[in-house]
Amino acid sequence: MEIYIDGQFYPKNEAKVSVFDHGLLYGDGIFEGTRAYNGRIFQFDEHINRLFDSAKAIALEIPMSKEEVKTAHLETLRRNKLTDAYIRTVVTRGVGDLGLDPRKCAKATVIIIADRISLYPQELYEQGLKIITVPTRRNLPETVNPMIKSLNYLNNILAKIEANLSGASEAIMLNQEGYVAECTGDNIFIVKGKTIATPAVSFGALKGITRGVVMKLASEMGLEVRETALTRYDVYVADECFLTGTAAEVIPVVEVDGRKIATGAPGVYSKKLKEAFHQYAMENGTPIY
């Protein structure tokens, strides 16, 4: 495996950053997760645009243009001879000193890692997830806005730890008002009748790119798609529930906080959307080769 760091490629065991990098010292940076399917990078422009939006939000200057970043992605995949992959792009504030001041960091560090990923075992895509709601609340927009894919993911990690300790695969995080925001690494959807609903971004949800594709596909299936406020009650009494994310893709949920969702088996629309998403991803994207 070869990893891109600031214009150079390094073998995995030689890919290193300084201990004075503010991404390491303070979580001062951003990231993006992108997928390649069937020799194409899926939703490439959307992911690169979101990377640059996150950078702008934290006043981080990426020392490359969008086109240069895209070219580096393509070269990383080609060097690793990958046609199906998960691509993790990391931009840190760069090397500084032990103080907080970002002005001490002369130049941002850009890292691109391409590898294969399987977030959940295949059987869970067929059987569905059992998840819980955790006490850790989603960050307030006035603190670290959930729209920013920052390297400071401790909020999500604390929630994931709570899920792990309870033996659950994932965790629902609520916002400060008690409304459903998102899971630790995925967006959440429910289906009720012919309506599919997901938390609006104003409730603490990331504007997920897979989320957006699934909303488009659901609309094409004739479902009414709503971005709205959801409570745990809404999830408990839903006909179906599923999660979406770049790494997770589309995965059904069959139990939340010990309550079965409907029959306790993956729902019809959850399965249809999982299949439709996979088909769409295999047929669309920017060619690598």
Find, among 143, 123, 99, 108, the residue nearest to 23 by Cα. 108
Is residue 209, in this structure, part of any structural domain at all? yes
As annotated, the active-site residues are 149
What is residue 118's predicted lDDT score, i.e. its pLDDT? 77
Is residue 27 within 8 A of residue 89, CB to CB? The reply is no
- The CATH number covering residue 45 comes to 3.30.470.10
Whether residues 131 and 229 share a domain: the answer is yes
pTM of the model: 0.94
DSSP bridge partners of 109: 92
Domain end (from 49, 81, 115) = 115
Return the ∠ at Cα 38 (arms to 129 and 53), rounded to 5°.
70
Domain end (from 98, 115, 132) = 115
What is residue 60's predicted lDDT score, i.e. its pLDDT? 98
Cα distance between residue 276 and residue 267, in whole Å: 14
* Token pair belonging to 270: 């959850």
Whether residues 274 and 140 share a domain: the answer is yes
pLDDT tens per residue, the chain (289 residues)?
Answer: 999 999 999 999 999 999 999 999 999 999 999 999 999 999 999 999 999 999 999 999 999 999 999 999 999 999 999 999 999 999 999 999 999 999 999 999 999 999 988 778 899 999 999 999 999 999 988 888 999 999 999 999 999 999 999 999 999 999 999 999 999 999 999 999 999 999 999 999 999 999 999 999 999 999 999 999 999 999 999 999 999 999 999 999 999 999 999 999 999 999 999 999 999 999 999 999 9
- Show Cβ contacts of residue 221 under 8 Å, excluding neighbours closer than 6 positions: 269, 272, 273, 276
Is residue 289, in this structure, part of any structural domain at all? no
Whether residues 136 and 212 share a domain: the answer is yes
Cα distance between residue 282 and residue 166, in whole Å: 35
Whether residues 90 and 171 share a domain: the answer is no
Whether residues 24 and 101 share a domain: the answer is yes
Cα distance between residue 53 and residue 62, in whole Å: 11
Range of the domain at 177: 122-283
Whether residues 127 and 90 share a domain: the answer is no
